[in-house]
Amino acid sequence: IRWSDRPQDFRTEVLGLVKAQQVKNAVIVPVGAKGGFVPKLMPKNPTRDQFMAEGIATYKLFIGTLLDITDNYAPDGTVIAPENVVRHEGDDPYLVVAADKGTATFSDIANGLAIEHGYWLGDAFASGGSVGYDHKAMGITAKGAWLSVRRHFLEMGVDVQSEPVRVAGCGDMSGDVFGNGMLLSKALKVVAAFDHRHIFLDPDPDPATSWEERARMFALPRSSWDDYDKGLISVGGGVFPRSMKAIPLSAQVQAMLGLDVPEIDPDSLITAILRAQVDLMWFGGIGTYVKASTQNNVDVGDPSNDSVRVSADEVRAKVIGEGANLGTTQAARIEFSLHGGRINTDFIDNSAGVDCSDNEVNIKIALAAAKRSGKLTEDARVDLLVSMTDDVAHLVLEDNRLQALALSIAERGGAAAMPSWSRLIDVLEEGGDLDRKTEGLAGTEDLARRAAAGQGLTRPELAVLLSSSKLVLQRELEESTVVDDPVLEEELVAAFPPQMREAFETEIVHHRLRREIIAT
């Protein structure tokens, strides 16, 4: 659920996000949706407290209304339909919410509402609350995306954990994905970064001291690039507010960014950073910064960044890591790949957050059954959840590792595999499970021409096929009797952390989402 700051076009924003969410959810039990809200009654020039109070009131209204119209389970397992609601579909008592931009600290509020409504999931309704897995503290989203980055570089013969890699990025050290991500290797040379407030330039950083300084900033309760110790920045670098009319450029920065001017306006400087010749471009902030050369800004649907956006054929980074959503358009990813760049997609790179939430919900449902039967006290449940944090992270990151590996294996098929991919696209399209145009997939003739030229599908295209195929298979399995085969109970138990497998085997085997977990 996102607290949108785009009242004029939040529908466009949420539609873009739901598209990524649907395919991202290929690794988890529920199908994907996205919610967004805009506070209509926000006072003009609100104080911080007024701003938060109005946002929370709007969030409560939104979540409360969702719960009002959602089916529920009675303790005996029968489905209770909501009162005074016309239902156009069958029973559907499974609704969970997760945090997004602006709502990271609201999980307890949502869980409070779920408990007030008597909703069967209790505090499993909104993941990441005070009795849940804190994604930022775990650094789970960044760690998942970092596995994609490591694979890209390993396939180029570089170990990012020990060999210096030059990085430019979008975000700052107070953010979850950017902050955690830029601490995952002590060999990084972060040469340039920007967020909505500042531009950071450090042409020749020392990997060790700059890592220490980033770690210090990440630990602060609030920070911006302006908190970076200027004495540690290499010659010619600096931190500049985006509100400046013109930013002076040292000889070192000019050389790093390929510019030949003594000063430049902030937007043009950000554009130059996006075009910089670096090893890695790390997206950890909000906004879409790269489009395809065939797209215009209107196609992108992110007007606030029109002035800084670049085309994929101008990006000189070797690898793009998408810790954030929608950092580039799908058409841009494909174009960047065809030009030899290495990139997956946002829904592959940053799926660990939603995967972690899914694990939390499944675990809490099993433990709720144990609590009802008197096998587990509330204090013991809380202690157990905390003790399993690392095991949950391991389960989640293994999904990330395998998805990135699957793309590498599929990519090895090259041009020879194109006829198979073409048929798969046709099958998915005929079944209404894929819209070629929306996903930016070329027509059959174009793909045949590409194969004739010795090129296969790119990783971003394969990612769409991988996730779409998984969703179709998951649905077909759930509608079949295959998932009811007792042999598959092993798969069900293996989906839970080791500490639960023996102690709570009964609760796992009789899990309310048993069929869905096996299918997934």
- Active site members: 34
Half-sphere exposure of residue 267: CA atoms within 13 angstroms, side-chain side: 8
Q: Say if strands 319-322 and 165-170 run parallel, antiparallel, or are unpaired.
A: unpaired
Q: Which residues contact 508 (CB under 8 A, 6 or more apart)?
A: 366, 492, 493, 496, 500, 501
State the alpha helices, DSSP H only, in 373-440: 378-387, 389-412, 418-430
Residue 494 Cα distances to 11, 226, 391, 392, 447, angstroms: 39, 46, 12, 12, 40
Grouping H, G, I as helix, E, B as strand and the rest as coil, residue 149 is helix
CB 450 within 8 A of CB 337: no
Residue 413 tokens, joined:
């098929």
Contact 145, 178 (CB under 8 A): no
Pairing of strands 188-194, 198-201: antiparallel
- Buried b / exposed e over 435-474, threshold 16 CB at 10 Å, is eeeebbbbeeeebeebbeeeebbbbbbbbbbbbbbbbbeb
Element (H, E) at 6: none
- CA-nearest of 20, 51, 55, 50 to 34 is 20
**Pairing outcome for strands 247-248 and 238-241:** unpaired
- The residues, ordered by sequence, that sit 6+ positions from 251 with a Cβ below 8 Å of its Cβ are 236
Q: Which one, of 29, 56, 32, lies nearest residue 42 by Cα?
A: 56
CA distance 392 to 134: 12
> 115 in helix, strand or coil?
helix
Strand pairing partners for 320?
281
Q: Helix and strand tally (H, E) in the chain?
A: 22, 14
- Please state the φ and ψ torsions of residue 249, each to the nearest 5 degrees: -115, 120
CA nearest neighbour of 102 among 170, 33, 6, 28: 6
Q: What single-letter DSSP state applies at residue 247?
A: E
